[in-house]
Structure 1
Amino acid sequence: MLDVVRPAQQPVPTTPAEYQGVVCLGGGMGAYDDSEHPWLAEVRKLLSASVAQRVPVLAVCLGAQLLAVATGGQVRKGPRGPEAGPSLVAKRDAAGRDPLFADLPLLPDVIQFHEDEVHVLPPAAEHLAASPTYQHQAFRVGSSAYGIQFHIETTPEIVAEWARRNPARVAAARPGAFELERLRESHQDVAETWQPFAERFVRLAAGELVPAAPTGRDLPLV
């Protein structure tokens, strides 16, 4: 069963019990913007419950920030400005022991498009990837809840539309980063690297891949 839930329009599940995995994608709002988007609190509750019940999670961009906040981390506006366009991140040492990250190249291609950052990781998080601009690019909470600050799920056309709507972020990127041909080449690199990663997440959710060993640290769920 695959349920697609648009939280601004539909009720968010109160528990992940009926699901094998949860994927939480991004959005233009901030992780704390509950006054304008009250459903954010329900998403955080679902992510918290998923971690507590060891239901695999893949949380992308805003999703990663919500996962961090839901499990004791902190998010803030990035002091170095936007991070936008095709880029690279660097695996951390812990990634070599992780069932999803171990087989990635040392410097995988990604698509960036954010202004906020995960400033403080949750206490029980494993830090899995970094960039020179913002350190906390990927992390795992518990045995199977993953947050990635960057995008691996986009198309060139989607990112080009984001760029059209956000000229300030385009100005922060390298010249030509959002030209459609450049985006197409970058997405080919992203797909080559991250499609196997996504397939490993599906195997993890299906119980076919052994989760990461627990860190042994206490995990606050908020």
Structure 2
Amino acid sequence: MTVIQHDEDVDLDRFAEWLAPARLTVVRAWAGDQLPADPAAVGAGLVVLGGHMNALADDVAPWLPATRALLAACVAAGTPTLGICLGAQLLAVACGGRLQVAAPPGREAGVARIHWRPEAAGDPVLGALVGPARPRSTPLPSMHADAVVGLPPRAAWLGSSDMYPYQAFRIGSAWGVQFHPEASARTLQAWAAQYDDVDAAAVRAEYAAAEPEIAAAGRAIAEGFAAVAAGSVR
């Protein structure tokens, strides 16, 4: 399984453990590592992480066009793919969706409640969080100011938050999540400290109050995606 990392401080975090026993190859795009050229080279699946740049900032991150091209090719090839935050935005744009940089609602920072739509029930990656015996929403870490404002054609809309509608979607074998299921308390706190418009103390308190639910949900998403990727290999 290939992981594309866009920034040094936006890494796999908890997913490094939760995606095991998948064999992970991390492409450190920010450090100059070369991206795979086609879906056949990514292995069992592709994970595209978040980053501090926007999904259209090709001048800042010159590997973004190749990332979008790879995402579109993986969707076409049926390769299991997961885009997280920036990765989800890149996935949406690559497949014909629309992105708004610095969206008017502002930065969604801290813990967002993700409200699951009926389409998420039974989903191979997110379905474990949805069901009659479960809450209709799940607290998950968030840190973004850009947003998908139009889903790609034929995408299934799976989840929303009070602040931003397109928090989770699926296009065939590819999932995009605007939130950060991989982020530990330490990671989210470090991100919060970088932005003047974020109350880092409030972020820390929100995470602490919901940490057991956050960890359980993040693990379920990682394990669900790992199972999809393993099934694809078989």
What's the TM-score bracket when you normalise by the shorter of the two chains? 0.7 to 0.9
Instruction: Quote the Cα distance in structure 2 between the aligned partners of 1:32 and 1:170.
Output: 27
Report how far residue 185 of structure 1 moved.
Answer: 4.0
Q: Which of 156, 160, 166 is the matching residue for 2:185?
A: 156
Per the alignment, do residues 79 and 11 of structure 1 end up closer, same or farther by CA in structure 2, a change over 3 Å counting? same
TM-score (norm 1): 0.86
Q: Which of 136, 141, 145 is the matching residue for 2:174?
A: 145
Aligned to 2:87: 63
1:24 maps onto 2:53 in alignment: no
User: What stretches of structure 1 of length at least 5 have no aligned partner?
Assistant: 210-222
Instruction: Quote the Cα distance in structure 2 between the aligned partners of 1:2 and 1:17.
Output: 15
SS in 2 for 1:165: coil
User: What stretches of structure 2 of length at least 5 have no aligned partner?
Assistant: 1-22, 131-135
Deviations 1:62-104 (A, max 9, x none): 0000000000001103111111101211001111142222221
Instruction: Quote the Cα distance in structure 1 between the aligned partners of 2:157 and 2:138.
Output: 15
Instruction: Quote the Cα distance in structure 2 between the aligned partners of 1:183 and 1:92.
Output: 24
Aligned to 2:128: 103
**Does the CA contact (< 8 Å) of 2:181 and 2:221 recur in 1?**
no
Instruction: Quote the Cα distance in structure 1 between the aligned partners of 2:128 and 2:203.
Output: 28
SS in 1 for 2:75: helix
Report how far residue 208 of structure 1 moved.
Answer: 6.9
Give RMSD over aligned pairs: 1.9
Instruction: Quote the Cα distance in structure 1 between the aligned partners of 2:210 and 2:66.
Output: 34
Please say which of residues 105-114 and 183-192 is displaced more in the overlay.
Answer: 183-192
- Percentage identity across aligned positions? 40
Aligned to 1:93: 118
1:38 maps onto 2:67 in alignment: no
1:6 maps onto 2:28 in alignment: yes
Q: Partner amino acid for 2:78? A: R
Matches within 5 A, 1:107-126: 107-126=137-156
SS in 1 for 2:176: strand
**Does the CA contact (< 8 Å) of 1:88 and 1:131 recur in 2?**
yes
Aligned to 1:79: 104
Aligned to 1:50: 74
SS in 1 for 2:193: helix
Report how far residue 193 of structure 1 moved.
Answer: 1.9
Matches within 5 A, 1:149-188: 149-170=178-199, 176-179=201-204, 182-188=206-212
**Does the CA contact (< 8 Å) of 2:44 and 2:79 recur in 1?**
yes
Q: Partner amino acid for 1:151? A: H
SS in 1 for 2:219: helix
